[in-house]
Structure 1
Amino acid sequence: MLNRHGIICGAAALLVAGLAALAVPPAAADPAPRCGISSCDDEGGAEGGSGDGSITILVWGSGTTGGGDGYEIPGESVVVLPPCRYFNTDWSGQEYYEMVQSGEWTGGRGPDGESIPPYPNYEAYKDDTEGRWWSGVCSSADYDGPIDDFIEYSNDWFENEFEPVYVEPGEAAPVPPIPPEILVQVAYDELELPDPQIAWNPSRPGDGATVVNLPTWLWLDDGPVQLEVHAAAGENEARVDATLAGMNFSASDAAPVSCAGHGVEWTSGATSDCALTFTRSSAHLPGAVTNVLAESEWTIEWAANGVPQGPLDPQTTSATFDLPVAEVQTVVTR
């Protein structure tokens, strides 16, 4: 059973609003929207005058390169619609008071048949024509998760967080607490993983060609290997940590290879298992170069207010580069 704040008014995304109420059956797999006296638009959104309940979230981060250098990711503001938010009903204190007194507005019925009372302290604004009442709405279209989880989340918000708010001209619109579970999605979406930039050896001066039948070392050319992105609003913060866990290389005329980490830069005496061995020169290929596909595999974890929360879906980035493969001619003498 949904909480006592929702009424059915259309057929699109699920909405739950804190204006009126009646008992509703458990949500189906593709539930109708539920909203209050605000109208439902074609996509199930709530229209409530000039306020849409958008929240500004601060996002920033940092990274570390394969060479051990750290760098900062400049902060920016991201505007989002949280799943549960306030919206402007566009009712002045006087208009709302007159609706209640005339019987034009009714709070509806809760799941147990009880009447839902008018907004708290509404009589105090009965002569005010400048301010506006703000109410609440929860939309599954802005929730990244199963419908059942959304219903639980919206029930908790209405029962423990939500109260109608009267906003005078010049006052800030009410902002609901944004939990880390919402902030982490913003941080994850803002995580920009770089395409891999690859170096190799042997690399002939002039054209960078490698050689047939000789292992060609491959490694990340000092790009990022660790990134973290923070998203904060109010007293809550989420952090997403991405780590380059491995790389894959494939090309024609060579067996593919998978490498842990980001490879090892070639130096005399070093060892690495991250190498392609070409069995044929690239002279027969377009442009006389071999096209190499490089993939970077990233593991991702997150934390809420500094407390680790576990893994998120991993990500893979890829890039291609052209590599000339040459044959070494030898002269045999007797």
Structure 2
Amino acid sequence: MLVEGVVGGGGSSSGPVTVQAGVPGWVHPVCWYEPSLSGADMAAYLDSPRARKDAAMLDRSSLATDLPGYKDHAQDTEGRWYSPMCSSQYAPDGTDYLSLARDYFSSHPSVFVPAGQEPPAPEIDPSVLAAAAWQSVTVPPPATDHNPRLTGSGATVVGVDTWVWATTATPRTLTVTATAATTTVTLTATSTGLSLQAPDSLVSCTGFGTPWTPDATTTDCSLTFTRSSAHLGGTTPLTVSTTYQATWTTTTGRTGTLPPHTTTTTTPLTVAEAQALGTAPTP
């Protein structure tokens, strides 16, 4: 399997972000053709009492209907029949194995391959390739910054809206192209924003946040702490998650979806209380 174009758009800019891909050297097809009996041996079996017994056990009148041309190869001891085979152990997470196997068996009858000719080439179903590619991609955990950030400690303050935003290292959209044999899929994974969690806080976050500047007035990602982090040992754990919804397409028009993928990072954040000294005017 060849994976290309594993990039994503940065959280606070439109530039690409490099994403790691642990690419396996190959992807085993879920369904394939398995070599079976020679033409002579297959004809001998299908015309035998054993075949009639096997057909009865399967509640069928005859097994020969699966190989309508078997008598044409009854004298061939070198060529082989190839039969369809499927195994769930090769189906990646997120694929519908039963549907794949049912469709494959219905569209891939047994075939006879004369000696010296190539057997049917393996086929990789696009859904299998897309799932394998998605599993090979290592999406980086979200990287964020915040404000207020007190000089020296970097702490934020109780009772003040703390802006949180994704830095350029956090992809919003990932684009992956994967190829195996003659099958190519394009996978697109998109996130709608950050998810924040922290003790003693009120969260309002529906996007990737807005980098704070003196001129910035609003953000779609912030939280307000109701208590300092002193009682937690000095810092508050801020957990930030990003969930990606993935879809795939092929040049043949097939499309599909993949299970969502969530990345998470937790960082210690100091939350301080702002102290104010009130003085009465001198009469």
Counterpart-to-counterpart distance in 2, 1:191 and 1:316? 12
Q: After TM superposition, give the deviation of residue 123 of structure 1 in Å.
A: 5.2
Query: Deviation of residue 250 (structure 1)?
Result: 1.7
Aligned to 2:154: 208
Residue 68 of structure 1, CA deviation = 1.8
Aligned length: 260
1:333 and 1:63, CA in 2 relative to 1: closer, same or farther beyond 3 A? same
For residues 175-227 of structure 1, what are the alpha-carbon distances to aligned partners after superposition, in whole Å with 9 as ceiling and x for unaligned? Answer: 22323233222223224322111210111233211111111100112121111
Q: Of 142, 155, 166, which residue of structure 1 is paired with 2:105?
A: 155
Deviations 1:261-316 (A, max 9, x none): x1111112222031111121111212x00111112122222212274736443332
- Deviations 1:10-52, CA, capped at 9 Å, x for gaps: xxxxxxxxxxxxxxxxxxxxxxxxxxxxxxxxxxxxxxxxxxx
Cα deviation, 1:57-83, whole Å, max 9, x if unaligned, reads 222222221222224557745423222
Match of 2:3 in 1: 59
Q: Select the residue among 32, 37, 40 that pairs with 1:85.
A: 32
Contact kept, 8 Å, 2:123 with 2:181, in 1: the verdict is yes
Secondary structure of 1:231's partner? strand
CA RMSD in angstroms, aligned pairs only: 3.3
With over 3 angstroms needed to count, the CA separation of the structure-2 counterparts of 1:281 and 1:329, relative to structure 1, is: same
Contact 1:135 1:165 in 2 (8 A): no
CA shift at 1:113, angstroms?
2.0
Q: Percent identity among equivalent residues?
A: 29
State how 1:1-334 maps to structure 2 within 5 Å.
57-60=1-4, 61-66=6-11, 67-71=13-17, 76-87=23-34, 96=38, 99=41, 103=44, 105-106=45-46, 108=51, 111-113=60-62, 115=64, 116=67, 118=70, 126=78, 135-143=83-91, 144-145=95-96, 147=98, 149-159=99-109, 163-165=111-113, 174-222=120-168, 223-260=170-207, 262-270=208-216, 271-286=218-233, 288-305=234-251, 307=253, 309=255, 311-334=257-280
Structure 2 CA distance for aligned equivalents of residues 230 and 196 of structure 1? 23
CA distance in structure 2 between the aligned counterparts of 1:100 and 1:87, rounded to whole angstroms: 14
* Alpha carbons 1:249, 1:295 under 8 Å: kept: yes
Letter in 2 for 1:142: Y
Q: Point out the more displaced range, 189-198 or 300-309.
A: 300-309
Larger relative CO (CA 8 A, sep 6+): 1 or 2? Answer: 2
Secondary structure of residue in 2 paired with 1:277: strand
Return 5+ residue gaps in structure 1 as ranges. 1-56
- Tell me how far 1:325 sits from its aligned partner: 0.7
Change (3 A) 1:275 1:228: same
Change in Cα spacing, 1:74 to 1:123, as seen in structure 2 (3 Å) is: farther
Relative to the length of structure 1, the TM-score reads: 0.66
TM-score using structure 2 length: 0.76
What secondary structure does 2:186 align onto?
strand
Q: Which runs of 5+ in 2 are unaligned?
A: none
Native 8 Å contact 1:196 1:296 kept in 2: yes
Tell me how far apart the structure 2 counterparts of residues 246 and 308 of structure 1 sit (CA, whole Å): 28
Alpha carbons of 1:276 and 1:133: their partners in 2 closer, same or farther (altered >3 Å)? same
1:98/1:305 CA distance change after superposition, 3 Å:
closer
What amino acid does structure 2 have at the position aligned with 1:276? Answer: L
SS of structure 2 residue aligned to 1:63: strand
Once residues 140 and 192 of structure 1 are traced to their aligned partners in structure 2, the CA distance between those partners, rounded to angstroms, is 25
The residue type equivalent to 1:321 in the other structure is T
Q: Note closer, same or farther for the CA distance 1:239–1:155 as it changes in structure 2 (3 Å cut).
A: same
CA distance in 2, matches of 1:219, 1:120: 71
